[in-house]
């Protein structure tokens, strides 16, 4: 009897394994959408809900500025219906994928953004403004509706909920940053131009638009002087890259270091905690408020 039971068990396990396998190899009935990096991935997931499989091209814990896709990833992306990317020089590696695949439609979601010009380029960090993020959400919603029209109503309704949340977030930023004691905040790379512009703050950055850049000793000296002159108590580090010059400036000036998340990527730890774009933006607001008061 025991032997019979174990044979039965073995067969049923084998059966469930094979049925599982066929499920994986079968083409899914939902459309597949890729997003070029974290904030676009999270917004797309919120609008797509359970009607599409949304994938983030950049793995967790990696920052996207100078990232390159692998051959395997390019092959996977071939199966997708749409690829959502930002443009503005943020994810230019997407061009390499676009020329290698013929399956998906590529959608630049920065159309209509009120971008900040820096010399000949624009600052790409638009998702850090809840105002500009509403435009990203609209473009993503339109892309999903075009790619999968039978679920248009569903995407529209998720999009409307998301915009409500983004408007609330925008209101919180406006209210909490209106009457701060000081308006100047110090960061590593100039990812927070849009927050500064939209909420009347003054961002001072050690390097320019990419965290890959080297901090110059002259710039560091200038920032140290500013911190002393303006009696600044906190400076900001980036959780994804923890740039070293920030810690040495803090040591030199006796300022405390707080995180200000560029939300360019998400860490495994943040993912485990169930954090999303909205939660990370609220944490940023809390830390800004603390530093400026
Ligand atoms: Zn950046």
Q: How far is the CA of 154 from the centre of ligand 1 (A)?
A: 33
Together in a domain, 138 and 193: no
CATH of residue 195: 3.40.50.1980
Together in a domain, 203 and 139: no
Q: How far is the CA of 216 from the centre of ligand 1 (A)?
A: 18
Q: How far is the CA of 227 from the centre of ligand 1 (A)?
A: 23
For 209-258, give the DSSP string. Answer: S-TTSPPPHHHHHHHHHHHHHTT--EEEE-TTT--HHHHHHHHHHT-EEE
Q: Evaluate whether residue 215 is within a structural domain.
A: yes
Together in a domain, 103 and 156: yes
Together in a domain, 35 and 169: yes
Q: Which of 142, 157, 173 is the last residue of a domain?
A: 173
pLDDT tens digits, residue range 38-94? 999 999 999 999 999 999 999 888 877 778 888 999 999 999 999 999 999 999 999
The larger pLDDT score, comparing residue 2 to residue 42, is at 42
Q: How far is the CA of 214 from the centre of ligand 1 (A)?
A: 14
Together in a domain, 36 and 163: yes
| pLDDT (mean) for 194-220 | 92
Local confidence band at 20 (pLDDT 50, 70, 90 cut-offs): very low
pLDDT of residue 22: 40
Q: Which of 119, 147, 173 is the last residue of a domain?
A: 173
Q: Evaluate whether residue 194 is within a structural domain.
A: yes
Q: State what percent of residues in the chain have pLDDT above 70.
A: 90
The total of structural domains in the chain comes to 2
Q: Evaluate whether residue 159 is within a structural domain.
A: yes
Q: How far is the CA of 244 from the centre of ligand 1 (A)?
A: 16
The larger pLDDT score, comparing residue 254 to residue 240, is at 254
Together in a domain, 161 and 48: yes
Q: How far is the CA of 38 from the centre of ligand 1 (A)?
A: 12
Q: How far is the CA of 263 from the centre of ligand 1 (A)?
A: 9
Q: Which of 173, 205, 220 is the last residue of a domain?
A: 173
| Cα gap 121→137, rounded to integer Å | 23
Together in a domain, 77 and 160: yes
The larger pLDDT score, comparing residue 213 to residue 234, is at 234
Q: How far is the CA of 153 from the centre of ligand 1 (A)?
A: 34
Together in a domain, 71 and 134: yes
Contacts of residue 111, defined as CB under 8 A and 6 or more positions apart, other chains included, come to 139
pLDDT of residue 213: 79
Together in a domain, 90 and 188: no
Q: Evaluate whether residue 19 is within a structural domain.
A: no
Q: How far is the CA of 63 from the centre of ligand 1 (A)?
A: 8
pLDDT of residue 16: 46
Q: How far is the CA of 78 from the centre of ligand 1 (A)?
A: 27
Q: Evaluate whether residue 10 is within a structural domain.
A: no
Q: Evaluate whether residue 273 is within a structural domain.
A: yes
Local confidence band at 28 (pLDDT 50, 70, 90 cut-offs): low
Q: How far is the CA of 65 from the centre of ligand 1 (A)?
A: 6
Domain that holds residue 103: 31-173
Together in a domain, 87 and 103: yes
Q: How far is the CA of 28 from the centre of ligand 1 (A)?
A: 34
Whether 176 contacts 167, CB under 8 Å: no
The larger pLDDT score, comparing residue 262 to residue 27, is at 262
Local confidence band at 242 (pLDDT 50, 70, 90 cut-offs): confident
Give per-residue burial for 212-221: e unless 16+ CB within 10 Å, then b.
eeebeeebbe
pLDDT tens digits, residue range 154-184? 999 999 999 999 999 999 999 999 999 999 9
pLDDT over 60 at 201, yes or no: yes
Together in a domain, 160 and 212: no
The residue whose two tokens read 């944490």 is: 283
Together in a domain, 80 and 125: yes
Residues with CB under 5 Å of ion ligand 1 are 191
Q: How far is the CA of 125 from the centre of ligand 1 (A)?
A: 6
pLDDT tens digits, residue range 270-284? 999 999 999 999 999
Q: What is the mean pLDDT of the chain?
A: 90
pLDDT of residue 239: 86
Q: Evaluate whether residue 21 is within a structural domain.
A: no
Q: How far is the CA of 211 from the centre of ligand 1 (A)?
A: 6
Q: Evaluate whether residue 271 is within a structural domain.
A: yes
């Amino acid at each position: 009897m025991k032997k019979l039971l174990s044979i039965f068990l073995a067969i049923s396990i084998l059966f469930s394994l094979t049925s599982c396998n066929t499920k994986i190899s079968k083409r899914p009935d939902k459309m597949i959408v890729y997003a070029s990096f974290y904030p676009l991935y999270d917004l797309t997931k919120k609008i797509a809900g359970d009607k599409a499989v949304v994938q983030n091209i950049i793995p967790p814990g990696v920052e996207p500025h100078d990232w390159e896709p692998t051959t395997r990833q390019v092959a996977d992306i071939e199966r997708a219906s749409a690829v959502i990317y930002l443009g503005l020089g943020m994810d230019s590696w997407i061009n390499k994928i676009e020329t290698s695949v013929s399956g998906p439609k590529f959608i630049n979601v920065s159309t209509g953004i009120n971008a900040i010009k820096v010399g000949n380029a624009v600052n790409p960090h638009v998702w850090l403004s809840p105002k500009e993020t509403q435009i990203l959400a609209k473009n993503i919603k339109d892309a999903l509706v075009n790619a999968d029209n039978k679920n248009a109503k569903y995407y529209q309704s998720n999009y409307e909920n998301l915009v409500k949340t983004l408007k609330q977030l925008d209101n919180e930023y406006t209210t909490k940053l209106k009457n701060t004691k000081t308006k100047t905040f110090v960061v590593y790379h100039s990812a927070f131009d849009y927050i500064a512009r939209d909420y009347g703050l003054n961002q001072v950055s050690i390097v320019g638009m990419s965290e890959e850049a080297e901090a110059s000793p002259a710039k560091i000296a200038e920032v140290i002087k500013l911190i002393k002159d303006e009696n600044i108590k906190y400076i900001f580090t980036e959780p994804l890259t923890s740039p070293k010059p920030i810690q040495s400036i803090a040591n030199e000036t006796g300022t405390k270091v707080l995180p200000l998340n560029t939300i360019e990527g998400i860490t495994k730890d943040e993912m485990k905690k169930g954090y999303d774009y909205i939660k990370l933006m609220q944490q940023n607001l809390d830390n800004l408020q603390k530093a400026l008061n």
